[in-house]
């Protein structure tokens, strides 16, 4: 018996990286998985390996059930169509994982406004539109879960001083952090709005970056086996936890993968990477 037996899960950004990992993990736990991204076939993306075809193939080869829906989460019509195609394939969505994200590694002084708007459309507007699309069915059934993927960058660099001028903040972290901070605030507000309907809304981040095709390509990870990055299984298990634990224990949470896994006893200890939010302060994992 899997934790998601009989459930339908829609996962965005699932052609590679964290989204692919979550999709494959959810399928192993019994979910009927709908994977969405813009890259359907291997080689369609000019820079990165990975595709929806690959994710679906991996899931089916392991005995799971999955279908691909190509779409752009920045477009409302595409978001609505993703949800409708998921329903046509398997029924109403029980779990939505808003994983798709976009960043351009550009300092603010050089940031084209069109790219800023585009990134916010993917990172914030997409989760809003998809949540809006799945909520009517969840409200009718008095159950469901929306899990948003954030970033440690949402915290911001603080007051300074700022000795590391070549770090992520100078390479696009300002926009990315701002959009993820907005996603976290949306998570908490939506959790409050739909609590009476029995719907979980939660958000989590890796304590540090996860080694994926994207982080390797942009030089944020040394390799897919980078020991300084968070293991993929931390992210996939945290998504499963937030999607399946009782409402009153997890809804409204904005947390970190290792911290929530330790709190619920899903792991004995973390790697020591990252921080967790406790009230208005922070504590080491």
Q: Which residues of 156-174 are buried (b: 16+ CB within 10 A; e: fewer)?
A: eeeeeeeeeeeebbbbbbb
Q: Let me know if residue 236 belongs to a domain.
A: yes
Q: Determine, yes or no, domain membership for 197.
A: yes
pLDDT reported for residue 7: 98
Quick one: pLDDT at residue 173?
81
Q: Which pLDDT band, with edges at 50, 70 and 90, does 207 fall under?
A: confident
Say what the pLDDT of residue 114 is: 96
pLDDT at residue 223, rounded to an integer: 63
Q: Tell me, what's the pLDDT at 275? A: 39
Of 188-192, 199-203, 257-261, 274-278, the least confident: 274-278
Please state the domain count of the chain: 1
Mean pLDDT estimate for the chain: 85
Q: Which residues pair with 204 in a beta bridge?
A: 149, 255
**For residues 207 and 229, what is the distance between their CA atoms, to the nearest angstrom?**
9
pLDDT of 222 > 60? The answer is yes
CA 104 to each of CA 148, 170, 174, 238: distance values in angstroms, whole numbers, following the listed order: 20, 11, 10, 27
Helix H or strand E encompassing 273:
none
Q: What is the pLDDT of residue 50?
A: 67
Confidence at residue 279, expressed as pLDDT on a 0 to 100 scale:
33
Residue 1 belongs to some domain of the structure = no
How far is the C-alpha of 233 from the C-alpha of 133, rounded, in Å?
29
Residue matched to tokens 């619920």 = 264
14: in domain: yes
**Measured between alpha carbons, how far is residue 230 from residues 71, 93, 166, 242, 274 in Å?**
28, 29, 22, 18, 9
0.85 surpassed by pTM: yes
* Rounded CA separation 189/148 (Å): 13
The answer to whether residue 211 scores a pLDDT higher than 50 is: yes
Q: Containing H/E element for 151? A: none
Q: Catalytic site residues?
A: 150, 176, 180
Look at residue 55 and tell me if it is in a domain: yes
Q: Which of 89-93, 195-199, 221-225 has the lowest mean pLDDT?
A: 221-225
CATH number of the domain residue 70 falls in: 3.40.50.720
Q: Pairing relation of β-strands 199-205 and 32-37?
A: unpaired
Give a yes or no: residue 204 inside a domain: yes
Confirm whether 2 is domain-assigned. Answer: no
What confidence score (pLDDT) does residue 210 get? 73
Q: Is 90 exceeded by the pLDDT of residue 19?
A: yes
The residue-averaged pLDDT of 57-68 equals 97
pLDDT of residue 236: 93
pLDDT at 171: 58
Domain carrying residue 232:
8-284
* Residue 6 CB neighbour total at 10 angstroms: 10
Among 159-173, 235-249, 250-264, the minimum mean pLDDT is found in: 159-173
281 or 250, which is more confident: 250
pLDDT digits (tens, 9 = 90+) for 117-175: 999 999 999 999 999 999 999 999 999 999 999 988 888 776 667 665 444 444 568 89
3 within domain boundaries: no
Q: Indicate if the pLDDT at residue 92 is higher than 90.
A: yes
């Amino acid at each position: 018996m899997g934790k998601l037996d009989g459930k339908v899960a829609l996962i965005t950004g699932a052609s590679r990286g964290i989204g692919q990992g979550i999709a494959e993990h959810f399928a192993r736990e019994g979910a009927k998985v709908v994977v969405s991204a813009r890259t359907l076939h291997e080689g369609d993306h000019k820079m990165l390996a990975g595709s929806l075809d690959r994710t679906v193939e991996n899931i089916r080869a392991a005995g799971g059930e999955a279908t691909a829906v190509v779409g752009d989460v920045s477009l409302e019509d595409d978001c609505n169509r993703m949800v409708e195609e998921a329903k046509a394939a398997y029924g109403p969505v029980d779990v939505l994982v808003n994983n798709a994200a976009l960043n351009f590694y550009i300092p603010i002084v050089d940031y084209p406004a069109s790219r800023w708007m585009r990134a916010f459309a993917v990172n914030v507007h997409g989760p809003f539109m998809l949540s809006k699309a799945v909520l009517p069915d969840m409200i009718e059934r008095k159950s469901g879960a929306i899990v948003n993927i954030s970033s440690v960058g949402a915290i911001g660099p603080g007051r300074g001083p700022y000795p590391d001028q070549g770090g992520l903040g100078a390479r696009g972290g300002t926009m990315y952090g701002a959009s993820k901070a907005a996603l976290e605030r949306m998570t908490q507000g939506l959790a409050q709005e739909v609590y009476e309907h029995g719907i979980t809304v939660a958000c989590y981040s890796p304590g540090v970056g996860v080694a994926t095709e994207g982080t390797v390509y942009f030089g944020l990870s040394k390799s897919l086996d980078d020991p300084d990055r968070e293991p993929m299984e931390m992210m996939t298990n945290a998504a499963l936890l937030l999607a399946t634990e009782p409402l009153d224990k997890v809804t409204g949470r904005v947390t970190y993968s290792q911290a929530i896994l330790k709190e619920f006893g899903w792991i004995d200890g973390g790697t020591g990477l990252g921080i967790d939010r406790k009230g208005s302060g922070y504590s080491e994992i």
